[in-house]
Amino acid sequence: MEEKKLLRLLEQDPAKGLEAAVREYAAYVYKIAHTRLSDVCRKEDIEEAVSDIFVKFWQSGQRSGFRIRSVKAYLAVIAERHCIDVFRKACRTSDSVDYDTLENLISDGSPYSDIELADAIKRLGEPDSIILIRRFFFGQRSEDIGRELGMKTNTVNKRVSRGLEKLRKMLEEDM
């Protein structure tokens, strides 16, 4: 379903809209959750997380009257936030988890804003912008990125490394 129509449906008939949203984007949200949580959660827990994400999406959307532009982008942010919470909880009960994945919770004191960062990522152009979003926003492994985008893992790693450097320079020049 076209996003515009889905948003209209969510506004006019939230129940039907929610049902349609799940049908439309369950696979997308599942992939996000699976990427983040497959190391620490069972399949049933991932499904549970996915359903919680949609409920949060719905509750949040109802508050804002679903005045959003991109359902997918909105869902992605909600999904990532929720998955990080689930991940943290799972890590507390598991000794085998690598806490490095939680680096994103540590501030590095960067002087630029998120909007500047998002703009710089966009200006990187594809495929680098896509690779960086997959690697850092969604936490996807380089080998999985490579497989899905038809690149060697080494190529992905090089692009990540160069992309980060370019991003840093762009942001410094902007300041």
Partner 1 sequence: MENRLKRLPQTMNEAQADMLSRELSEFGEGAYIDDNTVRRIQSSVMRKAGIKMGKTDRTKVRKGRIALIAAAAALMMTSVTAGAAVIFGKRDSVEKYLGDSAVQNFDTVDPTKEETVTKVKDGDYSMTIDSVVRMAGRVYLVGVTVTGETDAAKNYINSIDRNDRFNVMIMKQGTETMISDGQGLNVKRSDGFPLPEDKSVDEYGSISSMTDFIDPVQTAATAVAYLPDGTVIKQDFDLEAELYGTYDTTVPYTDKDGRVLNVTPIGMIFDFYAENENSNDIDYLEFADGSRDDPDTGLGFGTMQSNESPRTEKTAPGYTLFWKTEDIGSLTHIHFFGSDYYRQ
Based on the shown chain and the rule CB under 8 A, indicate whether residue 118 belongs to the binding site for partner 1.
yes
Site for partner 1 contains 19 (CB under 8 A): yes
Q: Establish if 172 lies at the interface with partner 1 (CB under 8 A).
A: no
Residue owning tokens 């300041």:
175
φ, ψ of residue 28 in degrees (nearest 5):
-65, -50
Task: Check residue 141 and give left, alpha or beta (phi > 0: left; psi -120 to 50: alpha).
Answer: beta
**What's the CA gap between 78 and 53, in Å, rounded?**
7
Residue 174 beta carbon to partner 1: minimum distance, rounded to whole angstroms: 14
Q: Point out which span in 87-95, 105-113, 150-158 binds partner 1 (CB under 8 A).
A: 105-113
39 vs 48 by CB, closer to partner 1 = 48
Q: Nearest-CA neighbor of 51 among 77, 93, 18, 84?
A: 18
Tokens (6 digits) for 43:
């399949």
Is residue 98 a contact point for partner 1 (CB under 8 A)?
no
Q: How far is the CB of 175 from partner 1 (least distance, A)?
A: 14
37 vs 84: CA distance, rounded Å: 8
Place of tokens 């999985």: 144
Summarize as ranges the residues that interact with partner 1 (CB under 8 A). 1-2, 4-5, 8, 15-16, 18-19, 22-28, 30-32, 47-48, 50-52, 54-55, 58-59, 68-70, 72-74, 76-77, 80-81, 84, 103-108, 110, 114-115, 117-119, 121-122, 126, 129-130, 132-134, 136-140, 148, 164, 167-168
